[in-house]
Chains A and B, each alone.
Chain A
Amino acid sequence: MKKVSSRRLIIIFASLLLVSLAWMALQRLLPRNALIAEVYSDGRLVHTVDLNKVREPYIFELPHNRVLVEHGQISMHEADCPDHLCVKQGKISGGAYPIVCLPNRVMIRITGGGGVDAVAGR
């Protein structure tokens, strides 16, 4: 079998890295106006809220998680999982990255706004 040169490998990895970083930068630059937050539990949509219309912050309760809903942003307030990665992720107010609590199968995502988000989110 013909061996692949290291130079070629470096080019492959560098371009892959560049594409990933460009994609991440693009998601950051997208405008965020419509802020519809969706809370999923076990793959089912359990709560939908327009974050722009939230006046008073409130807590949405789930069996293992508590979601903090505020004006323009949403976060995982508490979780009973061992690592608390979802809580550490903090507040999200848009972008393509959903808050995911894998052990409890809870996900918070923000939809709307169109563009790449709508494509990446589906």
Chain B
Amino acid sequence: MNIRRIASDALLSAIALTIFIVEAQIPLTFAVPGIKLGLSNIVTLITMYLLSKKDAGAVLLTRIVLGSVFSGNTVALLYSVAGGALAYSVMCLSSSALSEKQIWAVSIFSAIAHNMGQLMVAALVMRSSAVFAYTPVLVAAAIFVGAFTGISAQYTFLRLKNLRLK
């Protein structure tokens, strides 16, 4: 791993963390608890396409751990890790099958995976499968939110792809 790459990862992590903290300050309550835009995911997606899957994983993990420390919401860490891990796996798999003009679709797939991961942790924590009643709501929300962040990532990537970050 060269110095340029370490610096790029650090820069992207800082951007992701800033977006994460700012988003947490905006009180955006939807009808169903737990739904948010997840704007910092734009950075994860861009990292995956500009650098590599490994770098995206590193940026995501850094953002989740530091984001939980900075926001003081340690209870949410378990949910973020589960959602993040599942979203990251799906992101890696779907990005191999899709072109770099289909980042928006990768984003939607990973948003659905993220919400399902959180729901699974919720079911485990609550020791009840009743929380799965929220599945259709979370899938619908993931499609809208994933499309929004995905389109943002798509346009950002197309303008940044000539940068020499590696």
Is the C-beta of B22 less than 8 angstroms from some C-beta in chain A? no
- Docked pose: A42 CA to B127 CA in angstroms: 7
Main secondary structure of the interface of A (DSSP, over half): mixed
B33-A20 in contact (CB<8A): no
When the two chains form their complex, are residues B105 and A24 in contact, meaning their CB atoms are under 8 A apart? no
A97 touches B140 (CB 8 A): no
Known: A21-B140, A23-B136, A98-B131. A103 touches B126 (CB 8 A): no
Partner pick for B133 among A3, A40, A89, A121, CB 8 A cutoff? A121
In the complex, which range does the number of interface residues on chain A fall in? 35 or more
Interface residues of A (CB under 8 A from B): 1, 3-4, 6, 9, 13, 16-17, 19-21, 23-24, 27, 40, 42-43, 81-83, 85-86, 88-89, 96-98, 100, 102-103, 105, 107, 109, 120-122
B102 to chain A: closest residue by CB: A6
Distance in Å: Cβ of A113 to nearest Cβ of chain B: 13
Question: Does B75 count as interface, using CB distance less than 8 angstroms?
Answer: yes
> What's the A-B contact tally at a CB cutoff of 8 Å?
85
Contacts of A40 in B (CB 8 A): 126, 128
Contact B130 A109 (CB under 8 A): yes
16 interchain pairs, CB-CB under 8 A: A3-B97, A3-B98, A4-B97, A4-B102, A9-B98, A9-B105, A13-B108, A20-B139, A20-B143, A23-B136, A43-B128, A82-B73, A83-B33, A97-B32, A97-B134, A103-B75
